[in-house]
Structure 1
Amino acid sequence: MAFLGKVDFMTLSETERVIYRYLSDNYEKIPILHIRDIAQESHAGTSSVMRLIKKLGYTSYPVFQAFIQEKQRETFLNMDYFDLLSTKGYPKELVEKCQDLVFEILRSKIIVFLGLGSSGSICDYAARRFATLGLNALSITDPTYPVESRLSETKRNLIIAISISGGTSEIFEILQRLKPNAEDCIASITPSQTSDIGKISHISINYEIEERRVNLHGDLTSQIPSLFIIETLSEMIYEKMMTP
């Protein structure tokens, strides 16, 4: 994270590198962190924290905090939140891909949505919305769930994986196990068509989104694109059902 300050990593001690990584992972908290908090979480002394701050080019910790706070304010003011609603992030063939997936949805006996974390929440919403349309849809957000046994007694099933990274190993492993069944269709809603999940899918609906992480494992990536795709699919299905 270069905006912490310019520094030659070769000049940093191992302790200072640990402190630097902690600051990078907790960038948004810096304005409210006390120097002793940083020292405690980095298992270092306050003097080590101050040495790093000075190597980053700041005369004191309050000056460093003020700089980071101003950078955060500028970032906030420069964000165009309506970009999340722009069509620029979707492929030109979005409608055609959605139509292909709607065809599979309407011919499938069971529709399974697969996802973990925030994507799992979208799966729950999608399954409920499709069930409202009278479709046999369910959401699986537990990778240990025996999905194969649920699908073993039916043919022509549809599995829709939702993933921000496109590489969620637990989801990919499930899809690998289901892939050999030629009568089932695998689809995915994920930013990358060339990801593991995208490549294993028969139909992959993609979009562009900036992945945002906080505190290393915290995911703040927007789910608006995947939600929009789910809404589009359900509207297409509803229109077909209402057409004589």
Structure 2
Amino acid sequence: MFSNEVISTFNELEFSLYNYVTNNIDKVVYMRIRDLAKETHVSTSTILRFCRKLNCEGFSEFKVKLKLLLDKDERTSLRRSQDSLLEFMERTLKGNLDSYITEAAEVISHSDSVIFIGIGSSGILAEYGARYFSSLEKFSLYIKDPHFPITTNYLHNSTTIALSVSGENRFTITHIHQLKQEGSKIISITNSQHCTVAKISDINIPYYVTEEKYHTSNITTQIPVVYILESIARKVNKLTKRK
């Protein structure tokens, strides 16, 4: 309703009106136009002009759209974290996750270094993964800058662990292509094996949990990723000590 394009057209009075409305939606949906004008110290004509900019023919239609927006927000509910955890654990027990983890650990144990890549929340987990692997004596670093230049010799005999919930982030895909060209083996951890990142990886570890969004943010649980990363790191440590 309040798109960036529309907001950019507001004048000073309309901005004042916008700020009041967004902070008092639950009150405005029950107000008369004269009440809103009094509360915001603007004229009714300013309010009507504000409504037209939002593609509403009048104040009544504006309140209807505002009520729909309010109802949508109230219906938005978050899954309990334990539901996501139970979902992941159930699928882990039924699936072959351990075999994927073992395969990935075998590859990493023969590599001189591990490079973690990811954007957004996956970038934060990439940093965590690099720290965790390094703590278990496997030299690792992370890249979460989408424009990081990948042209150096430290990629010799390296393994890249790419993290992506959707597996469709264009920066992560670009990094994978660059790293593959430099000879790095690619292991990806994604929420599905039917995505671009999974398809261009040497090994893909899918964890399959229900994707969850809150407004425009993807808040799909990252618990499976932490579990997978820590499991791989511990197995790599054991394999390395046997050599």
Same fold? TM cut 0.5: yes
> Quick one: structure 1 residues 66 and 232, their matched pair in 2 at CA, closer, same or farther if it must change by over 3 Å?
same
The 3 A distance-change label for structure 1 pair 41 and 179 is farther
Distance (whole Å) between structure 1 residues aligned to residue 229 and residue 50 of structure 2: 45
- Matched residue, 1:112: 115
CA–CA separation in structure 2 for the residues paired with 1:203 and 1:124:
20
Q: Is the 8 A contact 2:137 2:237 kept in 1?
A: no
Gaps of at least 5 residues in structure 2 are: 5-21, 29-35, 41-48
Partner of 1:5: none
The 5 A counterparts of 1:76-91 are: 79-86=79-86, 87-90=89-92
User: In structure 2, what is the Cα distance between the partners aligned to 1:223 and 1:42?
Assistant: 42
Tell me which amino acid in the other structure corresponds to 2:112.
Answer: K
What amino acid maps onto 1:162 in structure 2?
A: L
Contact 1:31 1:66 in 2 (8 A): no
Counterpart Cα distance in 1 of 2:52 and 2:152: 47
SS in 2 for 1:166: coil
Preserved CA contact (<8 Å) 1:160 1:188: yes
CA distance in 2, matches of 1:239, 1:163: 27
> What amino acid is aligned across from residue 139 of structure 2 in structure 1?
N
- Which amino acid is the alignment partner of residue 227 of structure 1? V
Structure 1 residues 185 and 52: alpha-carbon distance in aligned structure 2, compared to 1, 3 A threshold: same
Normalised by the length of structure 1, the TM-score is 0.69
Paired position in structure 2 for 1:126: 129
Tell me how many residue pairs correspond in the alignment: 204
**SS of residue paired to 1:205:** strand
Change (3 A) 1:52 1:20: farther
Letter in 2 for 1:44: L
Q: How much identity, in percent, do the aligned residues show?
A: 24
Q: What residue is the counterpart of 1:171 in the other structure?
A: 172
> What's the secondary structure of 1:158's corresponding residue?
strand
CA distance in 2, matches of 1:144, 1:41: 42
Rg (Cα) greater in structure: 2
Work out the CA distance in 2 between the residues paired with 1:84 and 1:132: 28
**Secondary structure of the equivalent of 2:187?**
strand
Aligned-pair CA distance for 1:185: 1.0
Contact 1:114 1:159 (8 Å CA) reproduced: yes
How far did residue 170 of structure 1 move? 1.0
State the TM-score, normalized to the length of structure 2: 0.69
Q: Which residue of 1 aligns with 2:60?
A: 50
Cα distance between partner residues in 2 of 1:122 and 1:42: 45
- One-letter amino acid matched to 2:75: K
- Sort the Cα spacing of 1:237 and 1:68 in 2 relative to 1 into closer, same or farther, 3 A: same
Q: How far 1:122 sits from its partner (Å)?
A: 0.3
Alignment of 1:71 with 2:81, yes or no, is no
Gaps of 5+ in 1: 1-18, 23-29
CA distance in 1, matches of 2:237, 2:186: 22
Distance 1:114 1:82 in 2: 28
Aligned partner of 2:106 in structure 1 is 103
Cα 1:41/1:208, change in 2 over 3 Å: farther
Deviation readout 1:161-214 (Å, 9 max, x if unpaired): 000110111111121223245x53111000121211000001000011233334
- RMSD, aligned CA: 3.5
